Structure 1
Amino acid sequence: MILESVEHGPLIWPTVEDNGVMRTKKYAELSVAEKIQDDYLWERVQLLMQGTSLTKQERECKLYDAFDKFTHIKGESLHTYYLRFTQLINDMNIYKMKMEQFHVNTKFLNSLPPEWSKFVTDVKLFKDLHTSNFDQLHAYLEQHELYANEVRIMRERNQDPLPYVENQQMTPPHFNPYQSSYNNPQLQQQFSPSQYGSI
């Protein structure tokens, strides 16, 4: 009855007999006491619906704010980071908040800590951020978490990260920037420097 009153106006009263035909009672036919009761109910419904609307808007504002401020927490694993991000996006989807896929993917990648920068760059070069989803990006990055953790540990040990960068070049030995999969012997052989002679 409340839903009906929201969609079609004040509460429709029960049917009455009129010349042998049953019909619903109209507002004008209500007694003074019934009209007061009906008006009061309608005002209560309006207030409830207004409160629901304000609560939804406030929740949406908080979710947009949480999305803007979302970042990696120090010491957090990639999986935990991914789960927190998934929960936020799911909450936004519940409220039908429209987000561009590119925007969501960019936020997911750019909020990772510096030790992931090498792989974030690789993803941006070789994945289409307009059509991929962040689940796919997470699955790709997860394969390289061990190396990212090694980079983080070395950075924490060295005050100045430059010596480590010079020694390690921050690149796994099997990395080939021209392929999305690092372990492809055919491509490595194809681009072998020995084919072109010494410089």
Structure 2
Amino acid sequence: MTTLAEHMIADGAENRPPMLDKTMYNSWQSRMLLYIKGKKNGRMMLESIENGPLVNPTIEENGQIRKKKYVELAEQEKLQDDCDVQPTNIVLQGTQLSYQERECKLYNEFEKFTSIKGESLHEYYLCFAQIIKNMHTIGMTMHQVQVNKKFLNALQVEWSKFVIDVKLAKNMYNTNYDQLYAYLSQHKGHANEVRMLRERYPDPLALVANYQT
């Protein structure tokens, strides 16, 4: 049976390049064109984008026709050839910066992720899985043990006993969080009972006494 984690890896393979949201294409294009226009020789670069790169002129040599080498071009032709390359480099640099910003944002989300009081274990699992899926989509990788510990440690306090049990029972380096979720799901009833007792008896001493009873 294929796990949810395996589906996520298939959906966001590490060899897949970062993609722009389709709804942002027009805005992204306008910003890039304005940025290029403001660069040195920006208008020549825009002309290259709109009309295509320079077609190298040819010369005849020993009865053969060949394209001119870069060193053989006139100064204006060399400038145009340079301007043909620069827009591509600018776009690639912009893509790299966008990836870094996205990576930082996702890592920050992962670090700050925690369960919300009152949400079910299943709801918590789906929210956590979405962050991991987003990471895989842009090629981010994290150690399995780091992912597992975050999944367990961010749970609400009523899961504390079961978190300790699962850490003792499972190898955090070989287990994935799908398996941790499956294990914890077997104890939902007990965790809900602990949560209700905590809400009913906020005083820790009263809670212990009533829980033992």
Tell whether 2:95 aligns with 1:60: no
Does residue 167 of structure 1 match 2:207? no
Q: Indicate whether 1:153 and 2:196 are aligned.
A: yes
Percentage of matched positions with identical amino acids: 54
1:32-111 paired onto structure 2 within 5 Å: 32-111=75-154
C-alpha distance in 1 between matches for 2:142 and 2:160? 24
Q: CA deviation at 1:154?
A: 1.5
Unpaired runs of at least 5, structure 2: 1-52
> Which residue of 128, 142, 166 corresponds with 2:185?
142
AA paired with 2:123?
T
Cα distance in 1 between the residues matched to 2:167 and 2:54: 59
- Aligned mate of 2:167, from 124, 141, 158: 124
Listed one character per residue, the Cα deviations across residues 93-118 of structure 1 (whole Å, up to 9, x for unaligned) are 22322311111100000000000011
C-alpha change, 1:115 and 1:24, in structure 2 (3 Å) is: farther
How far apart are the structure 2 equivalents of 1:24 and 1:82? 61
Q: Deviations over 1:8-60 (max 9, x none)?
A: xxx68469575565655432344444433322222212211111111111111
Higher relative contact order structure (alpha carbons within 8 Å, sequence separation ≥ 6) = 2
Q: How has the CA–CA distance of structure 1 residues 25 and 86 changed in structure 2, closer, same or farther, with 3 Å as cutoff?
A: farther
- Deviating beyond 6 angstroms after TM superposition, the runs of 4 or more aligned structure 1 residues are none
Aligned residues: 160
Q: Give 1:151 deviation, angstroms.
A: 1.2
Structure 1 or 2, whichever has the larger Rg, is: 1
Structure with the largest fraction of helix: 2
The residue type paired with residue 124 of structure 1 is K
* RMSD (Å), alpha carbons: 2.4
Whole-Å separation in 1 of the counterparts to 2:119 and 2:178: 18
Q: How does 1:1-16 map to 2 (within 5 A)?
A: 13=55, 16=58
The equivalent residue for 1:28 is 71
